[in-house]
Structure 1
Amino acid sequence: MESTTELMHGHQLPKPKMHFRMQRLLPWLIPAAIVIGWQLSSQVGWISSATLPSPVAVLQDGVSLWQSGELQKNLSVSLYRATTGLLIGGSLGFILGFVNGLSKVCRGLFDTSIQMLRNIPHLSLIPLVIIALGIGETAKISLVAIGVLFPVYINTFHGIRSVDPELIEMGHSYGLSRWQLFTKIILPGALPTILMGFRYALGVMWTTLIVAETISASSGIGYLATNAEEFMDMKTVIFCIIVYAVLGKVSDLLAKMLEDLCLEWRQAESRS
């Protein structure tokens, strides 16, 4: 029996660890294979360095930009525009979705107009925004804010409207106040959908910023890429694209962490 127990402890306990490691490594297998294949193709000569520089050359260019301080300066500008636009547009979208989801009067007054505006591609508003606000920071931040407003709004609105009416009736029967009803029933029920909208809005935020920074900009990662394009500097262009991809991945991971933190109660319920 002892040998059997030792055998079980010796061979079965590492399996969850191995499974966990495989789960963490699996998403990176395809990107790693692409980078390795790209590097080998560049070394063999299958891909021209003028058309597509090797990953090593792109990395060296990134190191040069970092050492000169140009990368930090433009990266900080892009982060400022993205976060400011997200805070403004996300807050406005959440407030409108919250108010329209709870109030029939507000829903009848605002929702149709918002839905009409939502179906207009926000990037098509660039000429209007430039005419109205110029080409400065206000225009770029406004475009980001408009882009993130609608995903946050529609998911907040839908989340609040999809809360089970029977739970609300139960809250009324237990004598809960409006604030208690909101904090204990409505918000927890709507939170998964709200966080999904926030996560989707992050992707829209970076997409909008890329376009905004390539139009009459004098700073930012998009400006860095556009400026490099004029001099046919493909290494910097590709490096800027990679920076945007990394920023998008990091922001998505942060949103996932926030989602896990805010919805920890659901995981506890499923375990129980």
Structure 2
Amino acid sequence: MSAVETTAAPASDGGPRLIPAPRFVVGLILPILLAVGWEAAVRFGLATGRLMPPPSRVFATLWELAASGELARHIAATSLRVAVGFGLGVVAGTLAGAVAGYSTLVRRLIDPTLQGLRSIPSIAWVPLFILWLGIFEESKVALIAVGVFFPVYLGVMGAILSVDRKIVEVGRVFRLTGPALVRRILLPAILPAYVLALRSGLGLGWMFVVAAEFMGASEGLGYLLVDGQQLGKPDQIVAAILCFAVLGKITDGLVAAGSAPFLRWQDNFRRED
């Protein structure tokens, strides 16, 4: 166990005892070091901090936005868009991936088209969605759903195709019905890959919301980015980027924590340094 992951605590025999520090503490070491280093570089005149503001200016901007209530409003607008788009993308991606993975005919029919559509950049969908759905919330949510759909679809289809045929044959030997085979064999087998697909889709959802909020949004973290770029406020731009990073990490952690109880049966290799 490394020294950075341990703290000293009194043991029963009077000597020091090392206990593991929380994982998030270790994860904060690198960003804190980078922030302190850049702050010191600006304070000592090694950098101007004009285009890349120091953390003190960024946190001052965040404080001003929070005190005025703007930050909460922008975070709520962006989070709602991501939540709705994520839900729609997950449902569509799961259904399409499950059908394509289970049926060879369906896979040969729809997979080439979906693979081609997957290569289209997110910003290329913007004019079409504005034309179809207008400039309001529907087009923004649709764009986010598209971003979430493809990793979920690929994850589910690939997980089903990678299920060991021998396991399925064992289920058939025990005369499991179709629903029972899915519930007791297929679902546990694809669940780890499905969780990874959800996390990948969620990450793309946060990326696509930026492009979505470029479509004439009047609120949201993407709006803060555009506003900061137009008014020459690099501290506001970095503050919005920091909010995206924090929100993305929190939501990813929620998905991982929510799925952990369903993956306790796994006996994977884990190296403890």
Answer yes or no: same fold by TM over 0.5. Answer: yes
Alignment partners' CA distance in 2, 1:13 and 1:179 = 56
Residue in structure 1 matched with residue 7 of structure 2 by the alignment: none
Alignment partners' CA distance in 2, 1:99 and 1:250 = 31
Residue in structure 2 matched with residue 127 of structure 1 by the alignment: 127
> Of Structure 1 and Structure 2, which has the larger fraction of its residues in helix?
1
Alignment partners' CA distance in 1, 2:51 and 2:123 = 29
Gaps of 5+ in 1: 1-7
Structural RMSD (CA): 2.3
Equivalences for 1:52-63 in 2 at 5 Å? Answer: 52-63=52-63
1:20-78 CA-to-partner distances (Å, cap 9, x unmatched) read 21754332221111010111112112222432322122112111111111111111110
Residue in structure 2 matched with residue 4 of structure 1 by the alignment: none
| TM-score after normalising by structure 2 | 0.88
Give how far 1:184 is off: 0.5
In the superposition, relative to structure 1, how do residues 177 and 123 fare at CA in structure 2: closer, same or farther (>3 Å)? same
In the superposition, relative to structure 1, how do residues 261 and 168 fare at CA in structure 2: closer, same or farther (>3 Å)? same
Residue in structure 2 matched with residue 263 of structure 1 by the alignment: 263
Give how far 1:225 is off: 2.0
2:255 equivalent to 1:252: no
User: What SS is found at the alignment partner of 1:120?
Assistant: coil
Give how far 1:11 is off: 8.4
In the superposition, relative to structure 1, how do residues 73 and 164 fare at CA in structure 2: closer, same or farther (>3 Å)? same
Residue in structure 2 matched with residue 14 of structure 1 by the alignment: 17
1:251-272 CA-to-partner distances (Å, cap 9, x unmatched) read 221222133222112249x9xx
Alignment partners' CA distance in 1, 2:12 and 2:219 = 58
Residue in structure 2 matched with residue 210 of structure 1 by the alignment: 210
Give the number of aligned pairs: 260
Alignment partners' CA distance in 1, 2:228 and 2:218 = 13
Residue in structure 1 matched with residue 26 of structure 2 by the alignment: 26
User: What SS is found at the alignment partner of 2:183?
Assistant: helix
Please tell me whether the aligned partners of residues 123 and 143 of structure 1 are also in contact (alpha carbons under 8 angstroms). no
Gaps of 5+ in 2: 1-10
Residue in structure 2 matched with residue 3 of structure 1 by the alignment: none
Residue in structure 2 matched with residue 90 of structure 1 by the alignment: 90
2:50 equivalent to 1:50: yes
Alignment partners' CA distance in 2, 1:186 and 1:34 = 45
Residue in structure 2 matched with residue 149 of structure 1 by the alignment: 149
| TM-score after normalising by structure 1 | 0.88
Equivalences for 1:59-70 in 2 at 5 Å? Answer: 59-70=59-70
Give how far 1:86 is off: 0.4
In the superposition, relative to structure 1, how do residues 45 and 133 fare at CA in structure 2: closer, same or farther (>3 Å)? same
Alignment partners' CA distance in 2, 1:63 and 1:25 = 23
Residue in structure 1 matched with residue 160 of structure 2 by the alignment: 160
Alignment partners' CA distance in 1, 2:170 and 2:204 = 38
Please tell me whether the aligned partners of residues 77 and 219 of structure 1 are also in contact (alpha carbons under 8 angstroms). yes
Residue in structure 1 matched with residue 104 of structure 2 by the alignment: 104
Residue in structure 1 matched with residue 224 of structure 2 by the alignment: 224
**Structure 2 letter corresponding to 1:166:** K
Please tell me whether the aligned partners of residues 140 and 215 of structure 2 are also in contact (alpha carbons under 8 angstroms). no
